[in-house]
Amino acid sequence: MNIMIVGLLYSGMVSVLLYYYFCRLEGAGFRWYRGAVYAVLSCGLAVCRYLEWTTEFWDVLLGIMLLAGCGMLFHKSRFIESLVSSLLIISLYSIIVGIMQSVTFWLLSSVNSKMILRFGDLFQNTVVIVLLILTSRMLLKFFPRNMCKFDEPILLVLLLPVVFITFFEAFVSDFIYGNTIIWDTEKGLIFPKLNSFELLVLRLLACGGLISALVAHQKLVTTIQHEQTIQQLEQQTQNQEVYVKEAKLRYEQTRSFRHDIKNHLLILHKLIKEGKTNKAREYLKHMEVMSDSMSFQVQTGNIAVDALLSSKLGVAAQKGIHIHCSILIPAQSFMADIDWCIILSNALDNAINASETIAEQDRWIHLSGMQKGNIYLLNIENRCRENTKTPLEGIGLSNIRAVIKKYNGKMEIEVVDNIFKLNILLIISQHSQNILQQTY
């Protein structure tokens, strides 16, 4: 009975650790009461294993499903995400237990000492806990915490080798070592009589296989993310070129309209002189339509930015988002039009996406920009959901940061009272040689 109580205490301690690192891997918050629930259920599985109602194989399988179920219930995660995270943690723990099992049996078969038999379990369990903490911390340090939040095909690349390694370890523990030890005071370990050193090497290779699978998965994810980034950047570049072309077209149309304004005035004068007031009104309305088609909703002093902001304002209006814009782009600077467009388009896209998640009456975006000497300050604010945290570096923010770096500027992000604030400082140089040359 005492052995069973000690075993349950050990199982409960390990279960809390497993659930803690499972939460870290899923990017979810750890709650003690949830950890306690998982620990109680895990102890129930341990009792079944102690009473030999289940084998090691079924014990591992049920443990994986239990941890994955907790992830789905407590964290609202997808099944495939929770399953992969659960497999990684349980596999890591199983390999550590297996390695220490081989080490303990190797010592028992090599050294005929009652001390090893008496304190073997204590030594093994202590080292298992220490190694579990160290290896889990290394896993979180060297691999991204969102590594399990990808599409199913990518997760399957990681899932298959981890499943194989996990159940290979369960097979070794269950069918090779078993749960019976026969010890003789004179002869030492009699059963199981195995080459534990070879099994130790095999388990170390399994550990190396798990690390290799993680590295390969990370390389695959990085490659896919880079490809997606390149595609999005190419699409953004094409969009910026469209804005610039549209702005240039309207500029040319405006020049043409100004060139012909004298002719239009002569025609109006002639119609009024001849008393054809109705035709004069129609002609004037036609001129107003032409004038409106050549102007933008926003006037910033930069035709490319005007085209961009007019397009974004149209998108925002369709989604019930009010945008207040007070931006003047300095005319005398060597900052490229496409760089202005990259900053504003990415910032506005993020703000519009965030605004769509809240009630329509609370949707608004404020843009303001002002120049002081060679410094230009740009501020974008929008209402966001409650408990919104400062976002991680996504593609949009990365694009903005790349432009800011080019002009030796800075960017600050803060969330205050459910208002997301993006503050950008740019050094608007008057000399092109002071601008860092960079290619996108």
Mean pLDDT, rounded, for 63-90 = 85
In one letter, which amino acid is 395?
Answer: I
Q: What whole-number distance in Å separates Cα of residue 417 and Cα of residue 385?
A: 10
Q: Per the domain annotation, does 430 fall within a domain?
A: yes
166 & 304 share domain:
no
225 & 304 share domain:
no
224 & 319 share domain:
no
pTM of the model: 0.54
The residue out of 171, 197, 230 marking a domain boundary is: 230
CA angle 368, 372, 375 (to 5 degrees): 85
360 & 439 share domain:
yes
What is the pLDDT, as a whole number, of residue 151? 58
Q: What whole-number distance in Å separates Cα of residue 18 and Cα of residue 26?
A: 12
114 & 223 share domain:
yes
Tokens of 170: 């369960």
The residue out of 177, 200, 230 marking a domain boundary is: 230
Q: Per the domain annotation, does 280 fall within a domain?
A: no
What is the pLDDT, as a whole number, of residue 180? 60
Nearest to 45 by CA among 74, 73, 8, 72: 8
Q: What whole-number distance in Å separates Cα of residue 84 and Cα of residue 78?
A: 10
173 & 64 share domain:
yes
CATH number of the domain encompassing residue 409: 3.30.565.10
209 & 355 share domain:
no
Residue 411 three-state SS: strand
Q: Is-contact 414 399, C-beta < 8 A? A: no
Q: What is the DSSP string of 281-328?
A: HHHHHHHHHHHHHTS-S---S-HHHHHHHHHHHHHHHHTT-EEEEEE-
> 96, exposed or middle or buried, with CB in 10 Å at 0-12, 13-18, 19+?
buried
55 & 166 share domain:
yes
Q: Per the domain annotation, does 149 fall within a domain?
A: yes
196 & 339 share domain:
no
What is the pLDDT, as a whole number, of residue 435? 39
At 312, the pLDDT band (50, 70, 90 cuts) reads confident
Q: Per the domain annotation, does 174 fall within a domain?
A: yes
Q: Per the domain annotation, does 107 fall within a domain?
A: yes
The residue out of 230, 259, 284 marking a domain boundary is: 230
Q: Per the domain annotation, does 81 fall within a domain?
A: yes
Say yes or no to pLDDT of 66 above 80. Answer: yes
**Looking at the 3D structure of the chain, how many domains does it have?**
2
223 & 325 share domain:
no
Q: Per the domain annotation, does 269 fall within a domain?
A: no
Residue showing tokens 């740019």: 426
225 & 302 share domain:
no
At 9, the pLDDT band (50, 70, 90 cuts) reads confident
Q: What is the extent of the structural domain holding 140? A: 2-230
CA end-to-end distance (rounded Å), the chain: 68
Tokens of 229: 């980034």
Q: What whole-number distance in Å separates Cα of residue 333 and Cα of residue 371?
A: 11
Nearest to 88 by CA among 202, 178, 197, 218: 218
The proportion of the chain whose per-residue pLDDT surpasses 70, expressed as a percent, equals 72
Tokens of 34: 């949830």
Residue showing tokens 């409650």: 386
Instruction: Quick: pLDDT tens for 133-155.
Output: 998 888 887 766 555 555 556 66
Sign of CA dihedral 394, 400, 406, 408: negative
Q: Per the domain annotation, does 290 fall within a domain?
A: no
Instruction: Quick: pLDDT tens for 215-269.
Output: 877 777 777 767 766 766 676 666 666 666 666 666 666 666 666 676 767 777 7
Instruction: Quick: pLDDT tens for 359-414.
Output: 888 899 999 988 888 889 999 999 888 777 766 556 678 788 888 888 888 899 88
Say yes or no to pLDDT of 293 above 70. Answer: no
- The strand order across the sheet containing 322-327 reads 322-327, 364-372, 375-383, 419-427, 410-416
180 & 307 share domain:
no
β-strand partners of 364: 322
